[in-house]
A = this chain, B = another copy of it.
Amino acid sequence: MYTSDERSRLAPADARAVFRAGTVEPTSGWSDGYAQANLISVPEDWAYDVLLFAQRNRQPCPVLDVTGAGSASTVLAPGADLRTDLPRYRVWQDGALVDEPTDVLAHWREDLVTFLIGCSFTFEFALTKAGVPLRHVEQGRNVSMYVTDRQCRPARRLRGPMVVSMRPIPADLVETATRVSALMPDVHGAPVHVGSPAGLGIQDLGKPDFGDAVKPHKGDVPVFWACGVTPQAALMASKPPFAVTHAPGHMFVTDIPDATYRVG
């Protein structure tokens, strides 16, 4: 419906309106220059667990905003409705995925506290400007995401492994990609690993746990960043009674310029 150029030029409010109206697509490449966010909503009695888990695992879970209980609004995009403005959601009961709706109006509860967590799509615009190609965007696919063998530091009732996103990067641009992303710690910062997938306990790059397989070019090296899907792995491992999240790669597009999250 939109060309990739049109998507990148859409204002965040317009992108959210497109998703609210029912378009379902990964948000990588949408609204160039604006931060995107992962979403997790939990009942209020689990809120301290989630916030503490995020504090203890800052690289996968950099918190950009936390709402009051029942609120569907965020300072990151004052006009937005967190229940409708993402392309796709996931609904969780006792750690099991039970629904993947395009809005969560029917699932909403007045005791839900929502966490918005930084997303690596935010530094993709900076990577592009620095001349780093994005294979998943070129191929019209969602980014590849994997569950690793690195355990997060537990927090009260929450525990689970770190999830990473992977981008194939030309070997001579890995240092550039590292330097550019390192300056944006609130959207996952520098890579956690470069090279062999086995170093993170990943068996087969062709079979991601979330998102799509992405074809590397000759000379590309896999580069792994901590990923905001990590809280979803914690839901699976820790089984809280109820939660809502975004669907991996289907993020909340905020009104915050990405440069806000660049340090120095």
Contact = CB atoms under 8 A, between A and B. Distances in A.
Interface string A227-264: 00000000000000000000000000000000000011
Interface string A37-77: 00000000001100110011000000101100000000000
Contacts of A66: 52, 55-56
A51 to B, nearest CB: 5
A48 B49 CA distance: 9
Contacts of A11: none
A216 to B, nearest CB: 27
A66 B63 CA distance: 15
A160 interface: no
A41 to B, nearest CB: 15
Contacts of A264: 179, 182-183, 263-264
A66 B263 CA distance: 24
Contacts of A170: none
A186 to B, nearest CB: 8
Contacts of A52: 51, 66
A191 to B, nearest CB: 13
A130 to B, nearest CB: 14
Given A52-B66, A179-B264, A182-B263, 12 more contacts: A47-B48, A48-B51, A51-B51, A51-B52, A55-B66, A56-B65, A56-B66, A182-B264, A183-B263, A183-B264, A185-B263, A263-B264
23 contacts: A47-B48, A48-B48, A48-B51, A51-B51, A51-B52, A51-B55, A52-B66, A55-B55, A55-B63, A55-B66, A56-B65, A56-B66, A179-B264, A182-B263, A182-B264, A183-B263, A183-B264, A185-B185, A185-B263, A189-B263, A263-B263, A263-B264, A264-B264
